[in-house]
Amino acid sequence: MDEVGICVVVHNNYFTTRYALENLLDKTKVKTRLYIVDIASEEKHLSDFCMNLCSKTGGYYKLLTEKQTYSQALNKILSIVTQKYVVVFPVNAIVHHNWLEDLLYYQNIIPTVGINSIRSTFDNLHWMPLIHHCDSMPEDELKNVWITENNSVEGIMCFEKDRCYQIGLFDEKLQHQGFEQAEFCFRMASLGLNNIYIRKQTFVKALLGDEVLFPKKTKEGMAEFKTNVDWMIKNQMFKK
């Protein structure tokens, strides 16, 4: 299986970022290369962690000295990624085992896929089944993928790098993180492609971030975060 480029934009939030990055590498056997751009983090231990992680895994790390938007930072990564498939990975995501294998499976089995994503446990979206007939896809698999009413996905986004040559990169004029993802999805859909979610509850978002999960930012923060995740697993909020 080809190497996949994992694109991550970080800014402070050491504990959630560290847990997410270690988790994403641990939960897949696919060969990956991390591309991390750090938007002027003040937390030196975050910068040190990302730099050391990329050094150990053969990844790419760049610390920006000036504040930039999410889109500007993400485009800096996408412009240098060389892998066929790229994954835009949010640092508030906790993934299940074989998460990347699942993404690549559906990316390859459905010829009309533009962007492939994993459904968040906390998403409250309106779903529609993917009704397009695919000769190469078993009928029972059609039940496992869904599109939203506006054909937009967010969070973890997997797509072919070559699509960027067709529709361009993320819109840097959009300031609010999330808007630029939706706009990117609309341009992908303009090619006649579907942006889909795997119909599983397969990851959770630590939506509140460090400010709530780790109000004291102590060394116990990592253990506290794992306790939160364990509670969500116990209450079946997502599957391992």
Spatial separation of the C-alpha atoms in residues 99 and 202, rounded to whole Å: 8
Q: Tell whether the model's pLDDT for residue 106 goes beyond 90.
A: no
pLDDT value for 199 = 67
Specify whether domain 4-234 bears CATH 3.90.550.10: yes
Angle at Cα 118 formed by Cα 115 and Cα 211, nearest 5°?
A: 115
Q: Which residues pair with 36 in a beta bridge?
A: 8, 61
Residues 41-67 pLDDT 10s: 889 999 999 999 999 999 999 999 888
User: Where are the domains positioned within the chain?
Assistant: 4-234
pLDDT value for 134 = 47
DSSP H helical segments within the chain, as ranges?
14-26, 44-57, 70-78, 99-109, 163-167, 179-189, 209-213, 221-234
